[in-house]
C-alpha cells in the first residue's frame, strides 16, 4: 500500500521522535549523570569535554626489613679502637678463635672460651648473655699486636659484656655459626657476623676420643690411658704432665712424632716418672714406647740414624745412648732429668764434640760432660768421653787442656796502728 505523507505529517512524526528522544535522554542523564552523545549530535549540540582521569595513586613502598641480628659477612667491627675483620675462624679445645692476619702471628685475635668440657664440640648450641656476670660464663680474650713490642697486648673480659653466639650442625670438620659480641670498654667494641669455623684439637666425639687431632691434649690422653691400662679404677694423684710436644716433619712421607713426660703416683704406690714417645701413623696418634726415668728419648729415636743422617743426629744419638748406659751402671737408682745436647763438627778436621748437661735428680745441680767424635768412613763415631780438664778446638783439630781460672788474690789485711 502506497502511503503519501504530506509536510504536516512529517513534522508531526519528527516532533514525536524528539519528545521520545528528549525523554529518554533526561532519564539516562539522570541515571548516568551526563548527556547522551547521540542526542547531542541529533540536536546539533556540542559534547562537553571530559575531565582528564585522576592519576593513579603513588605506590606505597614496602617497609624496610629490620637489620639482621647476624650480618651475612665474616665477623667484623671495631675492637679496642682498631678496625677488625676476621681472616680465619677456628674452634679448638673449647675456644672459638677469630683472627685477623697470619695464624702464626695475628694482628688481632679474639678467643671466646666456652664453659663446660673443653673437649666437647658445641654443635647446635646457643649462648646468650646480656651484661654477663657469674662464674659459669665464657671468658673473652683479645690480643692486639703493638708496633715495636715483641709480645701482643692482652685484655681479658670476664663480665659486663654482651654475647650472642649460635652454632649449627658440624659437617666435614667445619662448625658454622653466628656471633655478636659487645665489650664493656669505653668505645663499646662490637663485632658481628657469620662464620664457618674449622675444628682443631683433641675432642670427644660420640663418647670416643678423636685420636686424629694434632694436639698436646691428644698425647696427654694417651699417656694417662697407658698409665691406667692395667688398673683403670686406681686413683692417679699428683699428676704432672710436662714437656709435651709433637714434631711435624718437612717430608710429608715421614710420620709425625711426639713426646711427653709424666710424673705421678698411682694409688698408694711410690711416685713414678715415665717418658712417653708417640707416633702418628694410619692417621691416628698412638704410644710408640714408654721409657723409665733413667732413659733418654734421644737414645731411643723413632728412626735410628745412619751414616747418611745429619751429623747432629748421629752425635746426639750416640752421646745419649752412652750417657744412659753409664748412669745405669754407676747410678742405677738415679734418673736423668733435664738433659740437653749440643753437637758441633768440623768436616775438614773430621772432628766433632757433643756437650751434655743433665741432672741426676730434679732438684740437683746440673752435671756437665762432653764426648769426642771422629769421622771414619763417612760416619761419625764416638771415640771417648772427654776428661773434665779437656776441651776440643775444632778449628785447629786438636784436644787441649782447659785454661785454669786464676785464683783470686787474697786481700791484704789492713794495718792497725798501735798507740804507745
Poorest-pLDDT segment among 13-17, 180-184, 239-243: 13-17
pLDDT tens digits along 371-386: 999 999 999 999 999 9
Query: Rounded to the nearest 5 degrees, what angle is found at the Cα of 58, between the Cα atoms of 56 and 59?
Result: 115
Residue with cell 671468658: 139
Per-residue pLDDT tens for 248-274?
Answer: 998 888 999 999 999 999 988 899 999
Closest Cα partner for 304 from 290, 320, 292? 320
CA distance 91 to 74: 15
Q: State how far the alpha carbon of 146 is from the alpha carbons of 143, 155, 184, in Å.
A: 10, 13, 21
Q: What is the mean predicted confidence (pLDDT) over 62-87?
A: 86
Higher pLDDT, 262 or 32: 262
Rounded Cα distance between 279 and 258, Å, is 6
Instruction: Report the share of the chain in percent with pLDDT over 90.
Output: 66
Neighbouring CB atoms inside 10 A of 396's CB total 11
Please tell me the pTM assigned to this model: 0.71
Residue 39, sorted as left (phi over 0), alpha (psi -120 to 50) or beta, turns out to be alpha
Q: At 354, phi and psi to the nearest 5? A: -125, 115
Cα–Cα distance, 167 to 68 (Å, whole number): 17
Mean pLDDT, rounded, for 80-103: 94
Q: What is the SS3 assignment for 353? A: strand
Cα 387 to Cα 324, 349, 371: the distances in Å are 18, 21, 9
In this predicted model, which residue has the larger pLDDT, 46 or 69? 69
pLDDT digits (tens, 9 = 90+) for 351-373: 999 999 999 998 899 999 999 99
Instruction: Give the residue, 23 or 170, on which the prediction is more confident.
Output: 170
Q: Where are the domains of the chain?
A: 8-42, 76-200, 207-292, 304-401
264, 227 contact by CB (below 8 A): yes
What confidence score (pLDDT) does residue 258 get?
97
For 63-72, 196-205, 220-229, 396-405, which range has the lowest pLDDT when averaged over its residues? 63-72
Q: Is the pLDDT of residue 389 over 90?
A: yes
Selection from 318, 299, 309 nearest residue 254 by Cα:
309
Q: Quick one: cell of 417? A: 796502728
Q: Name 375's bridge partners.
A: 380
The answer to whether the CB of 352 falls within 8 A of the CB of 341 is no
Please state, in angstroms and as integers, the Cα–Cα distance from residue 326 to each residue in 14, 298, 300, 333, 339, following that order: 148, 15, 16, 12, 14
Does 319 score more than 60 pLDDT?
A: yes
State the number of CA atoms in the 13 A half-sphere of 225 facing the CB: 12
Per the prediction, the chain carries an average pLDDT of 86
373 Cβ contact list (under 8 Å, min separation 6) = 315, 318, 345, 351, 352, 353, 354, 380, 381, 382, 383
In this structure, the chain runs to a length of 420
Confidence tier at 282 by pLDDT (50, 70, 90):
confident
**CB of 287 closer than 8 Å to CB of 271:** no
Rounded Cα–Cα distance for residues 88 and 65 (Å)? 30
What is the CATH number assigned to the segment(s) 207-292?
Answer: 3.10.450
Q: Give the tens place of pLDDT for each residue, 295-315.
A: 999 999 999 999 999 999 999
Q: How many C-beta atoms surround the C-beta of residue 96 within 10 A? A: 26
Residue 127's alpha-carbon distances to 113, 165, 181, 186, in angstroms, are: 12, 5, 11, 24
Q: What is the pLDDT of residue 385?
A: 97
The backbone region for 224, taken as left when phi is positive above 0, alpha when psi lies in -120 to 50, beta otherwise, is alpha
Amino acid at each position: 500500500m502506497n502511503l503519501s505523507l504530506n509536510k504536516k505529517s512529517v513534522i508531526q512524526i519528527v516532533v514525536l521522535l524528539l519528545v521520545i528522544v528528549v525523554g529518554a535522554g533526561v532519564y539516562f542523564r539522570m541515571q548516568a549523570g551526563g548527556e547522551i552523545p547521540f542526542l547531542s549530535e541529533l540536536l546539533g549540540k556540542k559534547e562537553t569535554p571530559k575531565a582528564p582521569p585522576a592519576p593513579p595513586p603513588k605506590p606505597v613502598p614496602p617497609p624496610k626489613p629490620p637489620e639482621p641480628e647476624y650480618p651475612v659477612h665474616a665477623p667484623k667491627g671495631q675492637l679496642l679502637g682498631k678496625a677488625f675483620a676476621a681472616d680465619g675462624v677456628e674452634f679448638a679445645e673449647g675456644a672459638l678463635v677469630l683472627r685477623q692476619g697470619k695464624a702464626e702471628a695475628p694482628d688481632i685475635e679474639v678467643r671466646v672460651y666456652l664453659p663446660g668440657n673443653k673437649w666437647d664440640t658445641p654443635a647446635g648450641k646457643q649462648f646468650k648473655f646480656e651484661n654477663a656476670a657469674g662464674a659459669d660464663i665464657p671468658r673473652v680474650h683479645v690480643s692486639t699486636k703493638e708496633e715495636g713490642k715483641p709480645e701482643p697486648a692482652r685484655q681479658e673480659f670476664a663480665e659486663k659484656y654482651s654475647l650472642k653466639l649460635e652454632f649449627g650442625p658440624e659437617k666435614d670438620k667445619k662448625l658454622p655459626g653466628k656471633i655478636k659480641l659487645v665489650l664493656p670498654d669505653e668505645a663499646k667494641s662490637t663485632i658481628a657476623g657469620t662464620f664457618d669455623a674449622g675444628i682443631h684439637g683433641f675432642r670427644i666425639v660420640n663418647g670416643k676420643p678423636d685420636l686424629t687431632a694434632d694436639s698436646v691434649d691428644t698425647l696427654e690422653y694417651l699417656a694417662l690411658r697407658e698409665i691406667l691400662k692395667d688398673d683403670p679404677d686406681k686413683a692417679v694423684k699428683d699428676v704432672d704432665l710436662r714437656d709435651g710436644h709433637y714434631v711435624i716433619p718437612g717430608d710429608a712421607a715421614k710420620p709425625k712424632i711426639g713426646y711427653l713426660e709424666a710424673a705421678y703416683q698411682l694409688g698408694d704406690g711410690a711416685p713414678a716418672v715415665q717418658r712417653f714417645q708417640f707416633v702418628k701413623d694410619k692417621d691416628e696418634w698412638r704410644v710408640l714406647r714408654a721409657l723409665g726415668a733413667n732413659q733418654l728419648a734421644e737414645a731411643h729415636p723413632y728412626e735410628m740414624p745412619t751414616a747418611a743422617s745429619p751429623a747432629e743426629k748421629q752425635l746426639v744419638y750416640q752421646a745419649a745412648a752412652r750417657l744412659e748406659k753409664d748412669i745405669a751402671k754407676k747410678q742405677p737408682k738415679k734418673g736423668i732429668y733435664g738433659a740437653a745436647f749440643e753437637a758441633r763438627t768440623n768436616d775438614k778436621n773430621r772432628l766433632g764434640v757433643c756437650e751434655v748437661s743433665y741432672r741426676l735428680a730434679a732438684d740437683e745441680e746440673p752435671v756437665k760432660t762432653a764426648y769426642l767424635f771422629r769421622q771414619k768412613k763417612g760416619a761419625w763415631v764416638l771415640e771417648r768421653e772427654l776428661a773434665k780438664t779437656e776441651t776440643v778446638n775444632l778449628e785447629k783439630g786438636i784436644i787441649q787442656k782447659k785454661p785454669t781460672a786464676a785464683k783470686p788474690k787474697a786481700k791484704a789485711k789492713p794495718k792497725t796502728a798501735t798507740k804507745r
